[in-house]
């Protein structure tokens, strides 16, 4: 389908760019393509607030100068925490492309990255692709967004699903505002339920992994504190999702995990706290995967932990094999 056969008049678009001239240029390109309902903001904070108040069908956002804040916001949105619709089409814009920037944008869950300056034709082609051939989404414990796995031989249990696409509903299917709202609400209810269930399942498994990894570290090590903090953060996220789902009973096991974490943080009887943590983590995991036996769960946990340990050992070997920094390098590295 050619882009000329798409209709963007009823599609709602949000543009974030801190530079007024760039916002105006983007609005002009969108207007030329046929978009008429265009809002624009100058800060990431206003961008977040606008999405919470009224999620658009398409968002364009400039990453330069606020890449960390913006990418965190996008992944928070994808995780279902920052807006009513976690699946809006998001195109990130940038003036220059570096490997680090590309990695951050891709890991945020954005649909696309386009370099400035871009022509009307270039943007039109990208928008059309996200209407006609949008990538399926995957859900992992730390990522929700388009599937970008390039290695077909790399094992993964993440299942693809087609996210609700209100831009497609309006631009291609030509639904009226009320029709699009009704269809989007129905699809969002199903998609958000799947997102919550899958996130809780994967986060509960990750809690088990962190419990086992904590056994490898001494309480005074930096990694011990980092993993405890991550464990508490994940558990609170699961507990929050439980309150809005059929898994309300899992909140009690989340409370037990957090109590064990507090005991470990305070240094109260490490053996008893670790035993409590393992018992609670395994029971929490069992709730989200009742079809598997405890033996099956432990086997999967052990296999995953073995892979992580082997990877960490390889990283340590590479670091030890790396040549020492020269004096000049040390000054650069320390910022002197």
Q: What is the pLDDT of residues 303-314, one digit of tens each?
A: 999 998 888 788
| 74 within some domain | yes
Domain shared by 52 and 136, yes or no: yes
**330 is a domain residue:** no
H helical segments located in the chain: 20-33, 44-53, 67-78, 99-108, 120-132, 166-171, 177-214, 222-242, 250-266, 270-288, 294-321, 327-334
Q: Are residues 156 and 206 in the same domain?
A: no
**219, 96: one domain:** no
Whether residue 70 has pLDDT greater than 80 = yes
Range of 83's domain?
A: 3-174
For residue 183, being part of any structural domain is answered with no
Does position 331 have pLDDT exceeding 70, yes or no?
A: no
- Bridge partners of residue 91, in order along the sequence: 60, 112
Residue 39 located in a structural domain: yes
Q: In terms of domains, do 34 and 107 share one?
A: yes
Does residue 133 sit in the same domain as residue 225?
no
Question: Are 15 and 95 in a shared domain?
Answer: yes
Q: Are residues 54 and 142 in the same domain?
A: yes
Q: What is the mean pLDDT of residues 200-224?
A: 89
Examine the domain organization and report whether 9 and 65 are in the same domain. yes
The proportion of the chain whose per-residue pLDDT surpasses 90, expressed as a percent, equals 65
User: Per-residue pLDDT tens for 169-180?
Assistant: 999 999 888 899
Q: Are residues 156 and 201 in the same domain?
A: no
Dmax (CA) of the chain: 69
pTM for the full predicted model: 0.80
Give the mean pLDDT of the chain: 87
Is residue 15 located within the same domain as residue 149? yes
Q: Is 329 contained in some domain?
A: no
**pLDDT for the residue numbered 224:** 87
> Of 117, 139, 174, which closes a domain?
174
**Of 114, 142, 174, the domain-final residue:** 174
- The predicted-structure confidence for 254-300, as pLDDT tens digits, reads as follows 999 999 999 999 888 899 999 999 999 999 999 999 998 888 999 99
Q: How many domains does the chain fold into?
A: 2
Q: Is the pLDDT of residue 330 over 50?
A: no
pLDDT at position 79 over 80: yes
Same structural domain for residues 166 and 46? yes
Note whether residue 187 is domain-resident. Answer: no
Integer Cα distance of 306 and 318 in angstroms: 19
**Which residues have a Cβ under 8 Å from the Cβ of 95 and sit 6 or more positions away?**
64, 115, 116
Q: How confident is the model at residue 333 (pLDDT cuts 50, 70, 90)?
A: very low
| Preceding amide of 117 cis, omega within 30 | yes
Tell me, yes or no, whether 115 lies in a domain.
yes
> What backbone phi and psi angles, to 5 degrees, belong to 20?
-55, -45
| Within a domain: 234 | yes
- 7 and 109 assigned to the same domain: yes
Q: What is the average pLDDT across 178-201? A: 91
CATH number of the domain that residue 131 is part of: 3.40.50.2300
Among 106, 141, 174, identify where a domain stops.
Answer: 174
Residue 82's pLDDT band (boundaries 50, 70, 90)? low
């Amino acid at each position: 389908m050619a882009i000329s056969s798409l209709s963007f008049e009823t599609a709602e678009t949000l543009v974030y760019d801190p530079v007024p001239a760039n916002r105006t240029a983007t609005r002009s390109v969108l207007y030329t393509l046929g978009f008429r309902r265009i809002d624009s903001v100058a800060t990431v904070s206003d961008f977040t607030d606008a999405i919470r108040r009224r999620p658009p069908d398409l968002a364009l956002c400039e990453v330069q100068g606020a890449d960390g804040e913006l990418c965190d916001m996008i992944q928070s949105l994808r995780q279902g925490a920052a807006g009513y619709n976690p699946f809006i089409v998001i195109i990130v814009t940038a003036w220059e492309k570096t490997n680090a920037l590309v990695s951050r944008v891709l890991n945020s869950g954005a649909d696309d990255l386009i370099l400035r300056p871009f022509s009307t034709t270039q943007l039109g082609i990208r928008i059309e692709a996200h209407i006609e051939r949008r990538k399926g989404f995957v859900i992992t414990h730390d990522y929700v967004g388009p599937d970008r796995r390039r290695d077909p031989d790399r094992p993964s249990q993440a299942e693809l699903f087609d996210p609700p696409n209100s831009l497609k509903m309006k631009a291609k299917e030509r639904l009226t505002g009320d029709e699009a709202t009704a269809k989007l609400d129905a699809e969002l209810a199903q998609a958000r339920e799947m997102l919550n269930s899958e996130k809780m399942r994967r986060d509960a498994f990750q809690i088990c992994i962190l419990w086992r990894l904590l056994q490898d570290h001494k309480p005074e090590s930096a990694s011990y504190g980092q993993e405890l903090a991550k464990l508490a953060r994940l558990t609170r996220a699961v507990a929050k999702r439980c309150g809005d789902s059929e898994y309300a009973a899992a909140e009690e096991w989340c409370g037990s995990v957090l109590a064990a974490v507090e005991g470990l943080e305070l240094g109260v009887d490490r053996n008893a706290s670790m035993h409590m943590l393992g018992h609670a983590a395994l029971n929490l995991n069992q709730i989200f995967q009742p079809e598997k036996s405890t033996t099956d769960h432990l086997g999967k946990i052990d296999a995953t932990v073995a892979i992580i340990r082997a990877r960490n050992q390889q990283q340590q070997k590479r670091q030890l094999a790396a040549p020492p920094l020269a004096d000049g390098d040390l000054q650069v590295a320390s910022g002197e």
